[in-house]
Structure 1
Amino acid sequence: MKKKHVIILVIAAVVILIVAAVAVEQYYRYEICNFTSKDGEEHGYHVYPNTNLDSLLTTIRQDYEMGTETSFRWHSRHAQFRTPKEGYYLFPAKMGNKQLIRRLQMGEQTPVKLTFTQQIRTRAQLAGHLGKQLLLDSVSVKSRLDSAKYMAQYGLVPETAVCLFLPNTYEVYWTITPDQLFQRMYKEYNRFWNDTRRAKAAALGLTPAEVATIASIIASETNKAAEYPTIASIYLNRLRKGIPLQACPTVIYAVGDFSMRRVLKRHLETDSPYNTYKYRGLPPGPIRLARTSIIDAVLDAPKTDYLYMCANPDFSGTHVFSSSYTQHAATARRYQRELNKRNIRS
C-alpha cells in the first residue's frame, strides 16, 4: 500500500513539474521572449490594409528567430487575434508574443519621421512626396491642395497651399489621413506664425503667404545663408518702389523646366503670372518650400539701398549686389562671358 502511495506521489510530482515547466515556458514565450532578432537590431514593418497574419509572420521571421510557433498560434487564438491592423511598427530586438500580438491587434504603431525639404517645388511634387512617405493616396492630397474651398479653411488658396508645409521633420503615424495631416500641419504653421512673426509681416505690408513667397525665391537664388537677409532687402526694396522683381527662379518655375541652368531671352517672354520679368509684384504663391530661417531673414531684412543682384562671375555661388543699374549691368556682362566660356547654353 505504501509502495502504491509512493508511485502516485511520484506521478503527481512529475505531472506538476511538467505543468510547471509548460507554464514557465508559456509565460516566458508570452511575456518575455519568443522572437529574437537575428542581427540584434530593431526591425520595422509597414503593414498594409488586408495583410493577413501568415504573410506578416513570414516577413517577420526573415529578421527574427521564433522560439516556438505553437505558442504564438495558441496565444493568438486565445487573444482572438486574426488580422493585424495596418500601420508602421518598429519592434525591439527581443519580444514576447504578448507585445507583438497586442500592438498588431490594437494598432499601437510607431510614429514615422515625415520630412519636407526645399526640393519640393509644386503641389504635384508635394502630393507625390506624401504618397511615398505615408499610406495615404497622393491623389487625395493633390485634390485638397487644388481645392480653393478646402484650402480656405486654412486661410490659403491653391497657389499658396504649399505654405502650410514648413520644411522640417515631423513625427506622424504612417496611417494618418489627409485631413488629419492638414490639421497637423496647420497647427505647426500657426505655431511658427505666432503673433510676433505676423506683426513683423504686417509691418512690411505683407501676409505670411507673401513672406513665404519671397523666401521661396531667395531659396531658389542661393544656398548661402549669409546672403539671405541682403537678397530679402533687394526684393522688398523693389516691391516698395514698384519695380518688377525680375527674379530668374520665377521664370524657371513659369517655364516648368527645373533642370535649366541659364535663363535666355526667349524664356523671359513666357506668359505666366509667375514670370516676374513680365508681371510686377509677387507671383501668385511660393515657387518652392523655403526654410523657416529664410522666412525669418525676410521678416528681419536689413535696410539697404540695393536693387540689383547678379551671380558672381567667379562661380563661387555668391552674388554681387548693386544699387545702380550701371554697376549691375557691368557685373552681368562679366557673368554672361563666363557662362559662354564654360559653354553653359541652357
Structure 2
Amino acid sequence: MMRRGCLLGIIAAIVLALGSLTWLLGGWYWGGPLEKDASFLVPDGASLKSVSEKLEREGAVSSASGFYMRARIFGAGGSIKAGEFSLPAGASPSRVLSILQGGEAVRRFVTVPEGMPSIMVYERVMGQSLLTGSVAVPPEGSILPDTYDFERGESRQAVLLRMQTAMQRTLAELWEKRSPDTVAKTPQEALILASIVEKETGKPSERRLVAGLYSNRLRQGIMLQADPTIIYPITKGKPLGRRIRQSEIQAINDYNTYSMVGLPKGPITNPGRESIEAVLNPAKTDALYMVADGTGGHAFASTLAEHNANVEKWYTLRKARGDF
C-alpha cells in the first residue's frame, strides 16, 4: 500500500509539475488579448514593473503580475527600450517583450525639402502634433534639408537642433573640400550664395553652372539681379503668388540684389547639400546672364546681346502660351 501511495504521490507531483509548466509556458507563448494592432509608449526610465502595469491597463497583456514574473524568468536579462512601439493584434507576452527589448520603435519622419525657407520649416515642425513644446522660427539657412526621424513626445526644439547640427557639420565638411575657384570667402558667404542658387534653378544639372555665373558677376562687381532676393523681404521666402512689381524691383534693402552689388546680408532659404557643393566648386564658365528657357531650365549667355536674344525668345514663348 505504501508503495502504491508513493507512486500515486509521484504521479500527482508530475502532473502538478506538468500543469504548472504548461501554465507558465502557455501564459508566455500563447496569444495575448489585443484585438487589433496598437501603439504602446514606453517612457524614459520606465521599470519592467511599471511597464507591466501599463501593458495590462492598455489591454496588451491579461495580467501585469503574470507578465512581470514570466519576463523575469524568460527575458534573458535584456532591458526594455524607451520609445513608441507597434504591438500586433494577438501578440503573446513573449512577443510583446521581444518588441520592447529589441528596440523596434515606431519611426516617424518630418521632411524639409531643399529650398524650404525657415518660416515654412517652423510651420512644418509646429504642425507635428506628436512633438511637444514650442520653438521660434530658426535663422534662415541654419537648417539642412533632409528627412529626420523623431519619437512621439520628443520636443520640437530637439528636432530643430538635429536639423541645425546637420547643417553645421555639412557646411564644415564641404568648406574643407572647397575649390580655389570658389568666390566665397567664408562659410557664411557660401551659404548665402548657395541659397540663391537653390532658389534660382530647379534643375540639379544646372546648379554648378548657375553658381559659376553668379561667381563671375561677383568677381566683376556686377549686380546679381536674382529675383528670389526681391521676394524674400516681402514673404520671408514663401511663394509671392503674383508677378514682381516694378516698385519691388527698385526697392532698396539688405536683400534686393537689383539695387545692390554683392551678396545679400543673409541666406534667403535653406539650401541643400548639392547647392552648397555647387558654390564651393562652381563650373568654369564665362556666362554672366541667364533667362528661363521654357523647359524648367535656363538659357545662358556671356554677352548682353546674346542674353537679349534669349529674353526675346522667352517672351515669344510666353505670349504663345497665353501667359500675357
How far has the Cα of 1:94 moved from its partner? 8.5
Matched residue, 2:67: 75
Distance, in Å, in 2 between the alignment partners of 1:166 and 1:85 is: 29
Distance, in Å, in 1 between the alignment partners of 2:133 and 2:221 is: 39
Match of 1:306 among 264, 281, 287: 287
Shift in alpha-carbon separation, 1:195–1:324, aligned structure 2, 3 A: same
Q: Which moved more, 1:10-19 or 1:84-93?
A: 84-93
Say which SS state the counterpart of residue 232 (structure 1) adopts: helix
Match of 1:282 among 248, 263, 285: 263
Matched residue, 1:127: 122
How far has the Cα of 1:299 moved from its partner? 0.9
Matched residue, 1:294: 275
Shift in alpha-carbon separation, 1:242–1:77, aligned structure 2, 3 A: farther
Matched residue, 1:344: 323
Equivalent residues of 1:166, 1:289 under 8 A apart: yes
Aligned positions, number:
305
How far has the Cα of 1:322 moved from its partner? 1.5
Distance, in Å, in 2 between the alignment partners of 1:188 and 1:247 is: 27
Matched residue, 1:166: 144
Answering whether residue 114 of structure 2 is matched by residue 118 of structure 1, we say: yes
Say which SS state the counterpart of residue 229 (structure 1) adopts: helix
Shift in alpha-carbon separation, 1:338–1:208, aligned structure 2, 3 A: same
How far has the Cα of 1:258 moved from its partner? 0.5
TM-score (norm 2): 0.73
Q: Which has the higher helix share?
A: 1
Equivalent residues of 1:261, 1:344 under 8 A apart: no
Say which SS state the counterpart of residue 276 (structure 1) adopts: coil
Q: Which residue identity is paired with 1:191? A: R
How far has the Cα of 1:199 moved from its partner? 6.5
Q: Which residue identity is paired with 1:18? A: G
Equivalent residues of 1:201, 1:208 under 8 A apart: no
What are the ranges of 5 or more consecutive residues in structure 2 without an aligned counterpart? Answer: 45-52, 73-79
Distance, in Å, in 1 between the alignment partners of 2:318 and 2:130 is: 45
Q: Which moved more, 1:93-102 or 1:206-215?
A: 93-102
Distance, in Å, in 1 between the alignment partners of 2:176 and 2:97 is: 48
Shift in alpha-carbon separation, 1:44–1:342, aligned structure 2, 3 A: farther
How far has the Cα of 1:286 moved from its partner? 2.4
Equivalent residues of 1:166, 1:292 under 8 A apart: yes
How far has the Cα of 1:310 moved from its partner? 0.5
How far has the Cα of 1:233 moved from its partner? 1.3
Q: Which moved more, 1:324-333 or 1:177-186?
A: 177-186
Matched residue, 2:254: 273
Matched residue, 1:244: 223
Q: Which residue identity is paired with 1:74? A: G
Equivalent residues of 1:229, 1:298 under 8 A apart: yes
Equivalent residues of 2:24, 2:70 under 8 A apart: no
How far has the Cα of 1:119 moved from its partner? 5.0
Shift in alpha-carbon separation, 1:255–1:295, aligned structure 2, 3 A: same
Structural RMSD (CA): 4.2
Matched residue, 2:50: none
How far has the Cα of 1:57 moved from its partner? 3.2
Matched residue, 1:153: none
Shift in alpha-carbon separation, 1:258–1:47, aligned structure 2, 3 A: farther
Say which SS state the counterpart of residue 202 (structure 2) adopts: coil
How far has the Cα of 1:319 moved from its partner? 1.0
TM-score (norm 1): 0.69
Q: Which residue identity is paired with 2:169? A: R
What are the ranges of 5 or more consecutive residues in structure 1 without an aligned counterpart? Answer: 59-65, 146-157
Match of 1:318 among 287, 297, 303: 297
